[in-house]
Amino acid sequence: MSRALVIQGGGFRTAFTSGVLDALHVGRIVDFDIYAGVSGGAIAMSYFITGQYRKCFEAISILASDPHFVRISRAISETGYMDIDHLERIARDEVPLNLDLAIQNSTHKDVRIVATERETGHAAYLQPSREDWIDATIASSTLPFVTKGRHFIRGIEYFDGGWSDPIPVRWAYEQGARHIVVVRTTPSGVRINQSWPDYLGSWYFRTNKALSDCFNSTHIKYNDALDFIETPPEGTTLHELAPIEPLKSGSYSYTSDSIIQDYRQGLDIGLEFVEQKTHLRAKNI
């Protein structure tokens, strides 16, 4: 039966995710058949697939300290007050994602980066190639109203996958996964209502029914994923690795200290899971 790793997004909360995945790397829990990452989770997933230990955390730290990344003066510009294209520079130059290893290690694996297709408002499960892997992570992380709001791949416009499939656990199940590990960036079981960004999006795109519906239904899709996690179908083993309490960093708010604290909590949660799995292996369970 297929094993899947599903990774929620979360902006700078991805520091927690990078800690969890570094722990899995150390514990050699790396053999998955299906990968699905959303937004910041897609970035963390990419470094995990290449086996580049601590590099995601390093990339997040560099981005957070970049004085050009956040500029309130750009809030009403096409770039957005967070310049997501800085991510490309980091992934190519400062903390290079090893694309050769990404392709090599994903051979015979089903790797998907989740983005939202702007024309339809539907989730797109992008299969990255060497040529567009970094582009796909940028598309998955492009936030309307915060960053430039759209990114083109092969002539198609995409934005953040968190609006169309925030936790693609049901999708992984539909691909045949029956052993699923879900890495979260919000505490387990906490339902959400429609957020102000979602409400703003539904109003802003009110003349585009597909996009308006997308923003109106994000919280419903999110809560549906939690229902699946809490009550998976019979014959499915599901492990949820989530913070115990809200993380110190937010999607857009952070300090160097908050990023370090979230990373360390992720390490702790990940190491607990590794210890549990090691104990079961020792008992041959």
Reply yes or no on whether the pLDDT at 284 is more than 60. no
Pairing of strands 34-38, 110-117: parallel
Q: For 54-58, 144-148, 225-229, 249-253, which range has the lowest pLDDT when averaged over its residues?
A: 144-148
Pairing of strands 237-241, 151-153: unpaired
75 confidence band (pLDDT: 50, 70, 90): very low
Identify the helix (H) or strand (E) that includes residue 48.
helix 40-50
Question: Hey, what domains does the chain have and what are their CATH numbers?
Answer: 2-282 (3.40.1090)
Positive or negative torsion for Cα 84, 88, 91, 97: positive
Coil, strand or helix: which one is 125? Answer: strand
Of the two residues 33 and 85, the one the predictor is more confident about is 33
Angle 40-50/55-65 helices, nearest 10 degrees?
Answer: 140
Q: Kindly provide the b/e burial profile for residues 153-188, where b requires at least 16 CB atoms within 10 angstroms of the residue's own CB.
A: beeebbbbbbbbbbbbbbbbbeeebbebbbbbbbee
Reply yes or no on whether the pLDDT at 145 is more than 90. no
